[in-house]
Amino acid sequence: LIAVVAILTSCSGISAVDYNNKVVEVQNEIVKEASKFSNRVQQVAQSRDFASIQVEADSSLAVIDAQIAKLKDIDAPSGGEEFKEAAIKAFESYKVIFEKGAAASKFTEETSVDELNKYITEFAAAMKESEALEDAARKAQKEFAEKNGIKVY
């Protein structure tokens, strides 16, 4: 999602700009957590030290759940519901990634290369789906911004 560079106000409730910025704040926290988790999964896959990944996943899932709850608690301004729903779907897709990542905790030193490759393929598919949902959220954000005279980059 894209940061806003305009200041607008609304007659009631949260302004379109403030709403957009809140969504971006939530997204930034989730992306930071996703990056951390993704790096950890890659390290685990290479080192084959799989036992610790479940704890990492649980921690990351808690962060995502808290951020999604924060977004759900914000009332979208007029015309912002589609953007909100698209953003929530995109953010919830990260949960799938973390859950897939947590599946690595079942692996052992004896796990075959074929099993690891299958896992990596499934993880990549979850990432691809998440990217598609992110694209949909960016599109919804762009439409929201255009309707509200907000310039986004």
Contacts of 126 (CB under 8 A, 6+ apart): 93, 96, 97, 100
Q: Do 24 and 4 touch, CB atoms closer than 8 A?
A: yes
- What per-residue confidence (pLDDT) applies to 10? 39
Distance (Å, whole) CA 10 – CA 109: 58
Query: Where on the phi/psi map is residue 79: left (φ > 0), alpha (ψ -120 to 50), or beta?
Result: left
One digit per residue, the tens of pLDDT, for the chain of length 153 reads 654 444 343 345 789 999 999 999 999 999 899 888 878 777 776 776 777 788 888 888 999 999 999 999 999 998 899 999 999 999 999 899 888 878 878 888 788 999 989 988 998 999 999 999 999 999 999 999 999 998 877
pTM of the model: 0.79
Q: Which helix (H) or strand (E) holds 116?
A: helix 113-147
- What per-residue confidence (pLDDT) applies to 36? 86
Query: Where on the phi/psi map is residue 149: left (φ > 0), alpha (ψ -120 to 50), or beta?
Result: left
- What per-residue confidence (pLDDT) applies to 80? 94
- What per-residue confidence (pLDDT) applies to 40? 78
Q: Do 104 and 119 touch, CB atoms closer than 8 A?
A: yes
Q: Do 94 and 30 touch, CB atoms closer than 8 A?
A: yes
- What per-residue confidence (pLDDT) applies to 146? 93
